[in-house]
Amino acid sequence: MRAKRASKPPEPLLEFLEVMRRLRAECAWKRGQTHRSLARYLLEETHETLEAIDSGDADHLREELGDLLLQVYFHAVIAEEAGEFTLDDVARDITAKMYRRNPHVFAPTADSPTDAAAIDEVWQQIKAAEKQRTSVTEGLPAGLPALLYADKVLGRLASEGRPAPEPGAADDLGERLLALVAEARGSGVDPEQALRDAVRRRLPPAARP
């Protein structure tokens, strides 16, 4: 008598997609959600993921990445039901984007950049050509944290050859803050993360995330 073949365990990402489809079908709360109603949870999970990164706790980060992944799948299943797009479409789009914006990996040539700064410059050039922006702020969400917003704007101005503000060259506090963001960019430092780290160091150990 032939032994019964053990069933192959489901592929985790596909299993999770089926879980989300079933939850949408059988859970009244989840069935009632929309892209707009879920927006607050996406923001919350993003901040909780950042907190996990700051904590340095790998288990915490693993959990929060799962919660963030839940939001991606949730939105994709809602869109699938509406006939707008599927999770596969989302994956295809981002895969195609990675191919386009990383020619040094997927279509290298003799003069392909090898250092991080040059690679990022090529990425920004390709992105700018794809987006065809009409202004330096087009596509930047108004709700971005001020430091991140300033960093993005300075990056776009630099790509147009506009000079960065000089540290200590102005009396206005805002201008000095902007100059510090420019200094951070010039040093390859993320100003948002640098400030978060500095604040965290000032907190008593019991109060640190």
What pLDDT score does 165 carry?
76
- Residue 195 identity (one-letter amino acid): L
Structural domain includes residue 167 = yes
Same domain, 92 and 140: no
User: What is the pLDDT, as a whole number, of residue 187?
Assistant: 85
CATH code (residue 196): 1.10.287.1080
Domain identity same for 41 and 81: yes
- C-alpha 209/C-alpha 207 separation (Å) is 6
pLDDT at 161: 76
88 part of a folded domain:
yes
Q: Please give the pLDDT value at position 46.
A: 92
Domain hosting 184: range is 133-209
Question: What pLDDT score does 30 carry?
Answer: 97
In the chain, how many domains are there?
A: 2
Cβ atoms of 19 and 74 closer than 8 Å: no
Q: Are residues 203 and 140 in the same domain?
A: yes
23 and 84 in a single domain? The answer is yes
- CA–CA separation, 33 and 54 (whole Å): 31
Position 175 scores a pLDDT of 86
The answer to whether the CB of 123 falls within 8 A of the CB of 103 is no
pLDDT of residue 72: 97
Question: In the chain, which residues have pLDDT < 50?
Answer: 1
The verdict on 72 and 143 lying in the same domain is no
pLDDT in tens, 82-94: 999 999 999 999 9
The CA angle 13-16-18, to the nearest 5 degrees, is 115
| Secondary structure E strands in 61-200 | none
Q: What average pLDDT does the structure give for the chain?
A: 87
